[in-house]
């Protein structure tokens, strides 16, 4: 794990809009990368960190604020999709169901989607909603990588044991493990690795 500051990595970001449904989002031929995860996992913070902008995505102490698919075009090369958080327990079942339908519709129908990054809170033991999201992605053959967040919150041993614990859990059910990244927006760790991966995957298309 190395410290990485994404200075000048991304020059230009244009906001394409917020869309309540994927069916009305503008189509694009650019490779698209989506960011999903439980509410409060640190998604907005990570997106702002990756893009080196303070307020690209709304960061909030109140979970579940982002209810739309937000699209950003990055350096005219790729599209960043900021998706609503899933599995937040304090929302009603009905609202949660609506959100997961929206996320699923996006993941199933966005033709230019290359990879979805599933954000995992590195502080906690494997959560049912994350495991369920991963299971669903596997079943639908949607490519994904894992991004462990908030790495600064733990001592290295604890971080390692949590990350390995999560991966070990996946090994029980899968032959092949997904790519994973370890990040901290607060500690500015891991952005270059994620951005390099996006570059690499975009170039090999
Ligand atoms: N210590 C620490 N806190 C973080 C980090 N990323 C996010 N947070 C905090 O976690 C909370 C939720 O972050 P946010 O980005 O809004 O999560 P989202 O709901 O997934 O978009 C906020 O209080 C953030 O300040 C991180 O890397 N380290
Ligand atoms: Mg957010």
pLDDT in tens, 93-151: 666 666 678 889 999 999 999 999 999 999 999 999 899 999 999 999 999 999 999 99
Give the Cβ contact number of residue 7 at 10 Å. 9
Owning domain of residue 81: 13-203
Q: What is the distance, to the nearest Å, from the Cα of residue 3 to the centroid of all Cα atoms in its chain?
A: 20
59 CA → ligand 1 middle, Å: 7
How much distance in Å is there from the Cα of 40 to the middle of ligand 1? 6
Report pLDDT for 113: 98
* pLDDT < 50 positions in the chain: 1, 6, 8, 64
1 inside domain: no
User: What pLDDT sits at residue 6?
Assistant: 47
Question: Does a structural domain hold residue 5?
Answer: no
Within-domain flag for 61:
yes
| Distance from C-alpha of 42 to C-alpha of 183, rounded to nearest angstrom | 10
Among protein residues, the one whose CA lies closest to atom 26 of ligand 1 = 150
Q: β-pairing, 69-74 with 13-19?
A: antiparallel
pLDDT at residue 53 in the model: 86
pTM above 0.95, yes or no: no
Strands (E), 20-110: 32-37, 69-74, 78-82
Kindly state if the Cβ of 39 falls inside 6 Å of ligand 1: yes
Say if 149 falls within a structural domain.
yes
Q: State the total domains in the chain.
A: 1
Ligand 1 site, residue 184, Cβ cutoff 6 A: yes
- Domain-embedded: residue 2: no
**Predicted local confidence at residue 88, as pLDDT:** 56
- pLDDT value of residue 61: 53
- Is 27 part of any domain? yes
The pLDDT of residue 205: 81
| CA 130 and chain centroid, separation | 12
Write down the H helix ranges in 35-155. 43-51, 93-109, 128-139
- In this predicted structure, what is the pLDDT of residue 59? 60
Q: What percent of the chain has pLDDT over 90?
A: 71
- Residue 37: give its domain's CATH number: 3.40.50.300
The answer to the question of residue 7 being in a domain is no
Query: pLDDT tens digits for 100-109?
Result: 788 899 999 9
Atom of ligand 1 nearest to the CA of 40: 19
**Residue whose CB lies within 8 A of the most ligand 1 atoms, among 4, 44, 45, for a mutation test:** 45
Q: Is residue 3 part of a domain?
A: no
Q: How far is the CA of 204 from the centre of ligand 1 (A)?
A: 32
pLDDT of res. 45: 94
């Amino acid at each position: 794990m190395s410290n990485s500051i994404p200075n000048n990595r991304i020059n230009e970001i244009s906001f394409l809009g917020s869309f309540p449904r994927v069916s009305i989002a503008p189509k694009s031929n650019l490779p698209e990368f989506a960011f999903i995860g439980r509410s409060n996992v640190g998604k907005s913070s990570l997106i702002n960190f990756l893009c080196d902008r303070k307020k690209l995505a709304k960061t909030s102490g109140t979970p579940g604020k982002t209810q739309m698919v937000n699209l950003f075009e990055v350096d005219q090369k790729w599209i960043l999709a900021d998706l609503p958080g899933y599995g937040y327990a304090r929302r009603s079942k009905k609202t949660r169901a609506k959100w997961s339908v929206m996320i699923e519709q996006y993941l199933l129908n966005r033709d230019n989607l290359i990879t979805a990054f599933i954000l995992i809170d590195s502080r906690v033991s494997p959560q049912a909603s994350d495991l369920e999201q991963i299971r669903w992605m596997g079943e639908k053959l949607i490519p994904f990588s894992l991004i462990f967040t908030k790495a600064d919150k733990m001592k290295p041993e604890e971080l390692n044991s949590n990350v390995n614990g999560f991966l070990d859990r996946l090994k029980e059910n899968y032959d092949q493990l997904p790519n994973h990244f370890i990040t901290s927006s607060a500690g500015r760790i891991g952005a270059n690795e994620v951005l390099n991966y996006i570059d690499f995957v975009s170039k090999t298309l």
